[in-house]
Amino acid sequence: MWRVLVQHQRKVTETQEELVKLADGSAHLRACDLREATVAIERLLKELEQQRVVFLEYVGRCVRAQMDPEPTLAALAREVYCLEGALPALAVRKEFEAAVEAGQFVVVKGETGSSKSTQLPQSLVDMRCIQRKQVIVTQPRKVAAQELTKRVGLEFAAWDCRRAQQSRVVGFHVGGNCSFDPQQCRIKYGAIIIDEAHERSINTDVLLGLLKKDIHKYEDLKICITSATIETEMFCNFFGQAGSLNIPGRMFPVVVKHMPIQDAQDLARPTVSAVLKILDETAAEHQPEGPAHQSRGGDVLVFLTGQVWPLTCQGALLLQDKTD
């Protein structure tokens, strides 16, 4: 635990040094870019400091809870993971819990990379008003529900793969496929998270309408509406001045490179060429010695139209990999 605290403090120190560089003019940026960079780094510094405060508070809560050793160690491992990854959702955890306790409806705008989808369900589970109850998370797509289940289940088991596979406390229900055991899950519903509410699908809209209509029947039920691009004011007004919370995202620098395509009818060859070039350039930056193709690694996300081109490019990449 001390190791992760030291690592986190190192991140704080590095961020402070970056802020000093901007202040003394070491970074050569235009005036408008300098202001934006300063605001972003100041926000990150404040976020890191708040994460440490929240971490220490919740570690103390786990210790004082006097639970059995296994669940206590699992809870501590989850807190360590949050601080180690400097997850943005950790910094606003206290505000989120306060908003949940203040009313039945909470609208959360979590920007991309804020870890809202994985961390908010776990934060709800640890709240006193929801302990021993079931937390439901809805997703507009089947694949998202299944993948989110795997991730949250692994984190909830403190990254113990064996324990995550054996435990069926975290699971999904897609169509007729149910991966969790209702007998092992929390007995009563405590909270419902409507994720990606901005997509406004028929199922989501009907669910939101039913929850608003019948919420008076469930006085202890908490409803969280979350999205990266949600219109917070509109949803708050719909649910009668519901509480709201904003979780900042995690942004990374983006380099735009244009590669002309000679033959628009054949996307496979230029796509494969671009992917291999990216992998080789990345490998060369991190491992300058030796041929770049021998140390290729990492992932590249490629957007293609239709169903044919992804399969064609996949086959071309596999063939190229064998020839290398």
Q: What is the pLDDT of residue 224?
A: 95
Strand order in the sheet with 133-138: 133-138, 188-194, 222-227, 105-110, 243-247
Element (H, E) at 293: none
Q: What is the pLDDT of residue 186?
A: 44
Q: What is the pLDDT of residue 187?
A: 43
Q: Given pLDDT bands bounded at 50, 70 and 90, which one contains residue 129?
A: confident
Tell me the mean pLDDT in the region 193-219.
Answer: 88
260 vs 42, higher pLDDT: 42
Q: Given pLDDT bands bounded at 50, 70 and 90, which one contains residue 35?
A: confident
Please state, in angstroms and rounded to a whole number, the distance separating the CA atoms of residues 233 and 235.
Answer: 6
Which residue shows structure tokens 């509406």?
225
Tell me the mean pLDDT in the region 307-316.
Answer: 85
For 74-95, how does the pLDDT look when each residue is reduced to its tens digit (9 = 90+)?
788 888 888 888 889 999 999 9
For 242-274, how does the pLDDT look when each residue is reduced to its tens digit (9 = 90+)?
899 999 876 666 677 777 777 767 778 888 888
- Does 105 score more than 70 pLDDT? yes
For the chain, what percent of residues have pLDDT higher than 90?
Answer: 18
Q: What is the mean pLDDT of the chain?
A: 81
Tell me the mean pLDDT in the region 136-149.
Answer: 87
Integer angstrom CA distances of residue 10 from 5, 87, 181: 9, 16, 43
